[in-house]
Structure 1
Amino acid sequence: MVDNDAADLISISFIDGEYFVFDIEAVKRLRNHHHVAGILVGTLPQVPQQSTFLGLPVQLMPEEAALLVQRGVARIIDEGSSHEVILAVDENDIDEATAKLKINELESTGSESQGQLVSFTTPAISTANRIALSESSVAAVYDTPRFDVYKYLHKRGYFISPGLRFGSQFLAYPGDPLRYHSHYLVRGLGYGEEFSLLELVGSGRLGTGVKKAWMVGGHVPDDDQHKLAALDSSKIIESEGDESIEDFVSFCVEWAGFG
């Protein structure tokens, strides 16, 4: 993990089990420099039931948030706890501040103003004081086949989005989804995990029907890495920067007559 100054980290808000980015500059930075597009989920206040025009915030998949935290690009903010901190203002402090304001007013005017209100504003909590969760908050995502296949594709420059509408875990785009159609329906599996022939045929035909290929892959355990290297040395991926060597095997299924 790369250690960055806290001020340079992108803040990802963790709200009710989901991950959101509210800052437009952070959204542009994620898209332009980190190949993370997310999904716009903000609706128009006056027309909340429509889904044609959406804006901020951007919702991230758990795999996106976990990868950004792992690489030292972002931090997870516990918005629930931060909100409680904002609201946990002692009533005595409010009364004391109100009394001080009243005294200052009397000293400046010499008499009590009739009908003049004395207001007190609770200061908002600063970004630096918001409660950040540790990397362990997303650690459970690291040891999943979904994260393995996500990281594998992301490392090769693909943009990845949720694949539910096409019956897969992810969709993989060769570039920005605003410019390209997705090429793959993606599913991550454990290296020794079995799947049925019916699923193989069905997923291959589904991919053909929507002009995509079905990709399946998994991380190779340490005990099997030498076997993979003996079969095909191209399957071994060189380490990049501070990341450990990643061993991954993948296959693409295309139905006869594809394209």
Structure 2
Amino acid sequence: MDSRKIPIRVANGRAYIWDVDDLQTIRSEHRLCGLLVGTLPHLSQQNLFLGIPSQLMPEEAALLVEKEYAVFVDDASAYRGATLSEFNAWNAEQREYIKHQQLVLEQEHANKKPPEVAQKVMSEEAIRKRKEREMKRQKKAAELQETEAEVPNANEEKVVEAEAPESSNAFPTTYNISIAAPSSSVPWYDPSNSTYSSISSAKAAGIWDFPSDLQDRARYGVFKDLWEQGYFMGGGIRFGGDYLVYPGDPLRYHSHFCATVISSPTQRIQPMEIVAHGRLGTATKKTHLFCTWDDEKGTVDYLSIEWAGFG
């Protein structure tokens, strides 16, 4: 495994992952998913498909740093003011890189062009030449009708011959071109003095504050305990809990449990709350977990509820 630690960029107290390879690493190797919150330029509606960055839950970010898989980066202080010449140079490099990728993609598409597409291109070329010949004949006929003889202008002839052909479907008009995130390549981004390898140091720097109280410690304790048992976790607010607990990657499995965090062993639970969670869990085909955190012992106790004995 690569010893490189994943940079978690913190902005306004929220943790983000900007690199696609880092997203793959934390999902495949560390069983953490995050939530994509970035927009995709080529999609008109931004309510279903989203892109980078991925925002991590506070529990996910804290766990990655505690396990020494990642470090916090104060994203705002890592940037310095860029000069106009630096920005222009970087912009020129990006444009050249995009042009290079486009040429490569066009060449790959041309090499894979099927025979029927090539035949269609040839037929369209024949149509174009036929139209050019017809235009030349019409032009000569108009010149003969003029009262004064006039020598045709060579430049005008060239214009006719150079007329662009009709649009062809030989090549696609759009390409998917990858561009590195600015913070990973620009010369005016230097995180070396804005990187923190522990939660305590990030708190001391004022960029991170989770966990800050008993409820945060309870949430983090429950999250870490379930994660250490091999589960994947996601947000559970849609199903009336704190977390959804998956036996494997959420792209392949449905969640088996919906977990609610109880911050103290002495905290009271109302009977109506038990009934509500039980009925909701049954309706969504999940078992509801009450997860009680003991702050003194640093342990978690679990109580599952589900409806049974119908009939």
- Per the normalisation by structure 2, the TM-score is 0.58
- 1:166 aligned partner: 239
Assess if the C-alpha contact under 8 Å between 2:13 and 2:209 holds in 1: no
Write the distance in 1 (CA, Å) between the matches of 2:9 and 2:49. Answer: 22
Assess if the C-alpha contact under 8 Å between 1:159 and 1:174 holds in 2: yes
C-alpha root-mean-square deviation of aligned residues, in Å? 2.6
Q: Does 1:57 align with 2:53?
A: yes
Write the distance in 1 (CA, Å) between the matches of 2:229 and 2:44. Answer: 37
- 1:11 aligned partner: 7
- 1:132 aligned partner: 195
- 2:180 aligned partner: none
- 2:306 aligned partner: 254
Structure 2 regions of 5+ residues with no counterpart? Answer: 87-185
Write the distance in 1 (CA, Å) between the matches of 2:62 and 2:218. Answer: 13
Seq. identity, %: 38
**Which of 67, 70, 75 is residue 63 of structure 2 equivalent to?**
67
Residue aligned with 2:73, SS:
strand
Assess if the C-alpha contact under 8 Å between 1:77 and 1:132 holds in 2: yes
Write the distance in 1 (CA, Å) between the matches of 2:12 and 2:43. Answer: 24
- Per the normalisation by structure 1, the TM-score is 0.69
Write the distance in 2 (CA, Å) between the matches of 1:48 and 1:141. Answer: 38
Q: Does 1:197 align with 2:260?
A: no
Cα deviation code 1:162-196 (max 9, x no counterpart): 11111211100000001100011111112222221
Write the distance in 2 (CA, Å) between the matches of 1:159 and 1:253. Answer: 20
State the Cα distance separating 1:45 from its structure 2 match: 2.1
Bigger RCO of structures 1 and 2 (CA < 8 A, at least 6 apart): 2
Structure 1 regions of 5+ residues with no counterpart? Answer: 95-121, 226-245
- 1:116 aligned partner: none
The code of the aligned residue for 2:211 comes to: V
Write the distance in 2 (CA, Å) between the matches of 1:216 and 1:54. Answer: 32
Write the distance in 1 (CA, Å) between the matches of 2:271 and 2:303. Answer: 15
Flag the structure with higher strand content: 1
Cα deviation code 1:106-146 (max 9, x no counterpart): xxxxxxxxxxxxxxxx932235x251245223564175211
Assess if the C-alpha contact under 8 Å between 1:207 and 1:254 holds in 2: yes
- 1:233 aligned partner: none
State the Cα distance separating 1:10 from its structure 2 match: 0.5
Write the distance in 1 (CA, Å) between the matches of 2:45 and 2:195. Answer: 32
Assess if the C-alpha contact under 8 Å between 2:36 and 2:50 holds in 1: yes
* Aligned CA distance change for structure 1 residues 140 and 126 (closer, same or farther; 3 Å): closer
Cα deviation code 1:214-239 (max 9, x no counterpart): 101123354xx6xxxxxxxxxxxxxx
Q: Does 1:80 align with 2:150?
A: no
